[in-house]
Amino acid sequence: MSIQTITTNIQRYSKAIADITKKEGEQMKKKSTAQKKLIDLSKRMNGRNLSSSTIKSILSQMERENKNIADCDTKLASLANDKSRNQNYLIKEEEKLRKEQEHQKKEQERKRKLQEQKDKAKDLQNLRKFKALEKSVSELRNIVPEEYYETPEELENNDREYDFFISHASEDKENFVRPLAASLVEAGCKVWYDETVLKPGDSLRRCIDKGLVDSRFGLVVISPSFIKKRWTDYELNGMVAKEMNGHKVIIPIWYNVTIDDVLHFSPTLADKLAIDASRLTLEEVVEQAMSVLQNK
């Protein structure tokens, strides 16, 4: 039973008791009036030289007042029973209210403690993520070339040779990356794409480093194959190093992956506004990439 229902019952019984008390007062007043009249009539009976008709009238009035007193006593007894019954109901409802309030208090305390546990667990999880991020940043600074760490002024004033650096897995070349690179070039973009930039004998790592430094944005084609690659991690770390200097340079493109896949791979990337290639045509992917370049 809810507290509101119990409170309504308590109010109902309290009003009933108040009404009965009022009626008891009225009956007590009637009884008192009848008793006073009876005393006055008794005094008159003790008077001298009363005629028989007068005595008869006084006796009749005394009988009537005795009847009034008896009626008042009957009604007072009935009212007392009703009052006692409602008082018992009231006591029971007040006990119910006390127990329900105690139950709700315990429930609120339980929920409060549960929320505290959740908050502590969340804080601990955030702390672990923060420490993991600190560790990743520390490791990143050890493996990423120094030329990535440019000042914001250098990033702003440095003319880039390429508009986009495409980081991808080789398994995605034929079906998606090669057509994407070609479409970007057709749209007038300068694209660092390994098939068009790398020559036989070039140092792969050195060329990637230069491509990352000389590009305005990095298009990261995140796919199941990308997530498994070591070289793609190296490229991604380079772009993250750029973002650590205050510039947003990473443009994720989701290719045959879900949000859960990206979250598992990199919560940081999952938090970025991405181009979902599974829902767009190649032309729409190019348009969205171009819009970022134009708003630079």
Residue 155: alpha-carbon gap to chain centroid:
41
Cα–Cα distance for residue pair 288/292, rounded to 1 Å: 7
Q: What Å distances lie between residue 38 and 45, 59, 76, 191, CA to CA?
A: 11, 10, 19, 120
Residue 170: alpha-carbon gap to chain centroid:
43
Q: What Å distances lie between residue 132 and 129, 147, 234, 244, 266, CA to CA?
A: 5, 24, 18, 16, 12
Give all strands of the β-sheet with 250-254 in edge-to-edge order.
Answer: 191-192, 162-167, 215-222, 250-254, 275-276
Q: What Å distances lie between residue 192 and 180, 207, 217, 281, CA to CA?
A: 12, 10, 10, 22
Q: Which residues pair with 217 in a beta bridge?
A: 164
Number of neighbours of residue 230 by Cβ within 10 angstroms: 6
Closest listed residue to residue 28, CA positions, set 90, 74, 76? 76
Cα–Cα distance for residue pair 193/176, rounded to 1 Å: 13
Q: Coil, strand, or helix at residue 256? A: coil
CB 187 within 8 A of CB 286: yes
Cα–Cα distance for residue pair 70/20, rounded to 1 Å: 19
Number of neighbours of residue 66 by Cβ within 10 angstroms: 14
Residue positions annotated with a catalytic role: 235
